[in-house]
Amino acid sequence: EVQLVESGGGLVQSGGSLRLSCAASGFLFSAYWMHWVRHSPGEGLLWVARITSDGSSTMYADSVKGRFTISRDNAKNTLYLQMNSLRAEDTAVYYCTKSFEYWGQGTLVTVSS
Amino acid sequence: DVVMTQSPLSLPVTLGQPASISCRSSQSLVDSDGDTYLNWFQQRPGQSPRRLIYKVSNRDSGVPDRFSGSGSGTDFTLEISRVEAEDVGVYYCMQGTHWPPWTFGQGTKVEIK
Q: pLDDT digit string (tens) for A46-81?
A: 999 999 999 999 999 999 999 999 999 999 999 999
Check if B54 contacts A (Cβ < 8 Å).
yes
Confirm or reject contact between B5 and chain A (CB < 8 A).
Answer: no
User: Across chain B, which distance is largest between two alpha carbons, in Å?
Assistant: 43
A45 and B CB contact within 8 Å: yes
| Contacts for B17 with CB less than 8 Å, ≥ 6 apart | B82, B83
Question: pLDDT tens, B74-97?
Answer: 999 999 999 999 999 999 999 999
Residues in chain B with CB shorter than 8 Å from the CB of A105 are 48
Judged against a pLDDT cut of 90, whether residue A6 lies above it is answered with yes
Q: How many CB atoms lie within 10 A of CB B19?
A: 19
> Is residue B68 predicted with pLDDT exceeding 90?
yes
The two beta strands, B38-43 and B89-95, are: antiparallel
Q: Residue A35 and residue B94: Cβ atoms within 8 Å?
A: no
Q: Which amino acid does the sequence have at A8? A: G
Among chain B residues, CA nearest to A5: B48
How many Å is the maximal CA-CA distance in chain A? Answer: 40
What H or E segment, with its residue span, contains residue B93?
strand B89-95
